[in-house]
Amino acid sequence: MNRTQEVAQLRVDYQRELALGTERFHAPRRTECPWCGSSRLRTRLRTVDLLQRKPGTFVIDQCRDCAHSFQNPQLTPEGLDFYYRDFYDGLGAAYADWLFGGRGSRKRYLASARALLPFGVPRRWLDVGTGYGHFPQSARTVHPGTVFDGLDVSEGVEEGKRHGRIAEAYRGLLTELAPKLEGRYDTVSMFHYLEHTTDPRAELAAVRTVLAPGGHLIIEVPDPESTMSKVLGRWWLPYLQPQHLHFIPLASLRRELESLGCTVVAVERREAYTPVDLTGAALLMLGHALPPADEPWHASPPSGLQTMARKAMFWSSVPLLIGMFGVDQVLAPVLSRTRFSNAYRIVARSGTEA
């Protein structure tokens, strides 16, 4: 079955779901911050799905007291299933595998793996939100004696095991699997995972269960305090709506880890920075302006004229995209050292002893 046939087949189910409306994919709107309980909220962002262009509107609110930002109203499990579908799997599987297995991603994986070198040699490492297991595959070159396992809710984790990227594959939620993995790992990683979860605090508590005493946790997340988020607004790629549900300020995450009995041993913004802000913004703007592609969540396939116009507009924009990519790379050494950095990394040890 080719892609056109697959899209036509999926369109029936998508249109049946969309006929019921997208409002049902949202939980009731919160009136209090999920992090500190304050009722002093403000709207930080209102946007649409700029990635797949599925129908719906999404709002990110921010707490005026603790600065925590969160999707409000938050997607329900049914809504998350709808908006994730065919992004990392299904129609999007080949693209996701190419994106996360590409040269740029491997460079970031190696930098993240090297961040653990000052803290000893990991014996058993669990990569939470591992996807297709690309991080463990790269990290093994830095830690050749380490056994890497992976956990994810998608079928990609099982494919990662089939390809030999991970030794063990756990499919499901960390919060549910943690009791069975108690104390099994001396290292746990969460790379751009927490922001996808419905309850980051529950995830961190689950990590505390999985980690052996003295083990290390390494986390990388988008930095909601990045100046670039204010400059680019809805076009700031790390907003990644509707997938990103929570944006945790560094100080809040540090305090939460310490409250769980962990010691923060390293914080890094420069190495966690990914030089994609301008390129990502240009891609999002272009995708928003282009005529629709043939996707099953659109009521009908694009016309021949729309398809031709889409191709012409895209290829005429390639020089601009290449230019934006070049600017991102040139500015990276400077921006990564300032509050324009778009991410941060925390390494914490299980236990409060120095």
pLDDT score, position 1: 78
Q: Residue 235 phi/psi, 5° resolution? A: -90, 5
Q: Residues with Cβ < 8 Å from 86, sequence gap 6 or more?
A: 10, 52, 92, 296
CA distance 95 to 257: 35
Write down the pTM of the prediction.
0.94
Q: Is 103 exposed, middle or buried (0-12, 13-18, 19+ CB in 10 A)?
A: exposed
Report the DSSP beta bridge partners of residue 263.
349
pLDDT for res 94: 81
Cα dihedral 157, 241, 325, 136 in deg (nearest 10): -20
Return per-residue pLDDT of the chain as tens, 354 residues: 789 999 999 999 999 999 999 999 999 999 999 999 999 999 999 999 999 999 999 999 999 999 999 999 999 999 999 999 999 888 988 887 777 777 778 999 999 999 999 999 999 999 999 999 999 999 999 999 999 999 999 989 999 999 999 999 999 999 999 999 999 999 999 999 999 999 999 999 999 999 999 999 999 999 999 999 999 999 999 999 999 999 999 999 999 999 999 999 999 999 999 999 999 999 999 999 999 999 999 999 999 999 999 999 999 999 999 999 999 999 999 999 999 999 999 999 998 654
Please give the DSSP secondary-structure letter assigned to residue 34: T
